[in-house]
Structures are given as structure tokens and as C-alpha cells.
Amino acid sequence: MTDALTIWTYDWVPQGPRGHVRDIRLRWACEEAGLPYRIASIRFEDRTTPDHLARQPFAQVPALQDGEIRLFESGACLLHLAEKSESLMPRAAKGRAEVLEWVIAGLNSIEMVTVPWWFIGLSGPPENPLEGWLASRLGRLDAVLAGRPYLAADRFTVADLLMADILRVRKLRAVLDPYPALTAYADRILARSAFLKAQQDQLDHFAAADAARAKS
């Protein structure tokens, strides 16, 4: 009997990030693949304790436990999960390479711009110095998606899961109108039932923590 996978997240977070904490990427992947998993929580207030830093050295979530294997970084966890199910990544070398390059492109060509752009927007300087770079990267991605429905291997893969999660950040989604192919793509990927379940499960998880904290 195989132990279920364990996805680590916080027990509670403020309202803002709910539905967007990155354990959702792992929940979504497990739902797509039918992989059994359980959720384990660390107290939000304990995120900089030595115990948690041993699990996630940047004091973040998620982390994944798979038997003896422990992993942090949602992108690494997704590639690890993808090895477990063809529903997340094809087995043939060419398809695997396409998934790998597009997962890394999501993390290092798109999110490397979108997350700092979003972060700078929080403190709101009159002009965001990453605006032009963001437009350039989104334009290139839009051109790719104008030519095909999925990023890799002519089918849904974990690369689409990751990219759609990157694109759905609210402030980013609000500026995507100039990129019709990209917008249609994100909407289509985010309509998948596995995503909707993962999102609701995360919202429920944090809501349950509110209830527990109110009692104590």
C-alpha cells in the first residue's frame, strides 16, 4: 500500500491570498491525476521556525511529502507529481521535454516578471518600472497561444496548470484584455473541474481555520 501524498500549507492566511496560496497548484495536479493526498498544516505564525525552515527555507508554502521524499517549490512539486501520471505529462521524450520547457518558462520567463510587477504594484509607485517588460512577455505568450490550444504536447499538461495559475492573479487578470488568445486560454484552463475543486477546497480549508480560531 502506498502512503498518500501530503501537501503542506498554512493553517490560516489573511483573506487576500485565499484561493491563491500555492498549495492550490499541488491540489489541482493531484485532482487532475486522481492521486490520493492529504493536507497538513503549519501555523501561519510558525512559518519562520526552524522546523518549517527545514521544510521550506524561504518560509513559504507549499511543500510536498511523498514517502521518504520531501520537496519544496511548487514548480518542483509539480514536476515530481507529473512523473506519477500521464494525465499531467506524456511519457514520450518529446512531450516530456515540451512540458519541462513550458513549466520552466512559466516560472522563469512569465512569473519572473508578473510577480515582481504585482509586488511593486502593492506599494504603488506612479509608474511601475516593469510595465514594458510585462507587456513584452505577455505579448510573446499571446502569440504562442494564438497558434495552439495548449502549451505543450498538443494536450492539457501540468505546464498549462501552472501557466493558468500564474495568469489568474487578480491584478494581472485585470490587464490581460490586450491579449485575447492568452485570456481565452486562461479562461478555458481555469474552467476545469479539478481546478474548481482545488480552489473550493482551499477556501474551505482557510474558512475552517477561522471557525477554529474563533472558538479558541
Q: Do 89 and 29 touch, CB atoms closer than 8 A?
A: no
The least distance separating its own copies from the CB of residue 196, rounded to whole angstroms, comes to: 25
Closest CB to its own copies among residues 26, 206: 26
Closest CB to its own copies among residues 74, 205: 74
CB atoms within 10 A of CB 201: 15
Listed in order, strand segments (DSSP E) in the chain are 5-10, 37-42, 63-66, 69-72
The least distance separating its own copies from the CB of residue 97, rounded to whole angstroms, comes to: 5
Phi/psi for 71 (5° steps) reads: -140, 140
Give the C-alpha separation, 9 to 131, whole Å. Answer: 31
The least distance separating its own copies from the CB of residue 193, rounded to whole angstroms, comes to: 27
Closest CB to its own copies among residues 18, 47: 47
The least distance separating its own copies from the CB of residue 213, rounded to whole angstroms, comes to: 27
SS3 content of the chain, % helix, strand, coil (to 5): 55, 10, 35
The site for its own copies (CB under 8 A) is made up of 53, 57-60, 68-73, 75-76, 79-80, 93-94, 97, 100-101, 103-105, 107-109, 111-113, 115-116, 119-120, 123, 125, 129-130, 133, 137, 140-141, 143-144
